[in-house]
Amino acid sequence: MEVQGKIKVLGETKEFGSNGFRKREMVVTTEEQYPQHILIEFVQDKTNLLDSYSVGQNVKVGINLRGREWVSPQGETKYFNSLNGWRIENAEQNNAAGAPPVPPSDQFEPVQDLNDDDEDDLPF
């Protein structure tokens, strides 16, 4: 799955527990009629992927949807969802790179008038 939009929030990398679990969160705002603010988590070695990005950039983020179950000490079961990022790329570069180059109009040759009565040497 992918989410595309503009980076609204880019959090710092945080470490949890004695094992050194690392997590970094970002919020991407989609660009549609009703923009959505999507929280995406990057964990462990994927936190470094965000180092070269900044707030305001248009990005495309590859995500995985994760869900987990938690049972409270009182026996109540709750479910949680998260979006885990695993890839990020600059969406502006993709648009520019994916579009074919448009040569300036002065580089085109003028079109010949096909209605001329010139004789062809074609056999038909």
Mean pLDDT by 10 residues, the chain (124 residues): 96 90 96 96 95 95 96 96 96 58 50 57 60
pLDDT at 4: 96
Beta strand pairing call for 2-10 and 77-90:
unpaired
Tokens of 112: 């010949």
Q: Which CATH architecture has domain 2-96?
A: Beta Barrel (2.40)
Contact between 25 and 84 (Cβ < 8 Å): no
Q: How far apart are CA 68 and CA 80, in angstroms?
A: 5
pTM for the structure as a whole: 0.69
pLDDT at 64: 96
Cα 5 to Cα 32, 36, 48, 57, 62, distances in angstroms:
9, 9, 20, 8, 12
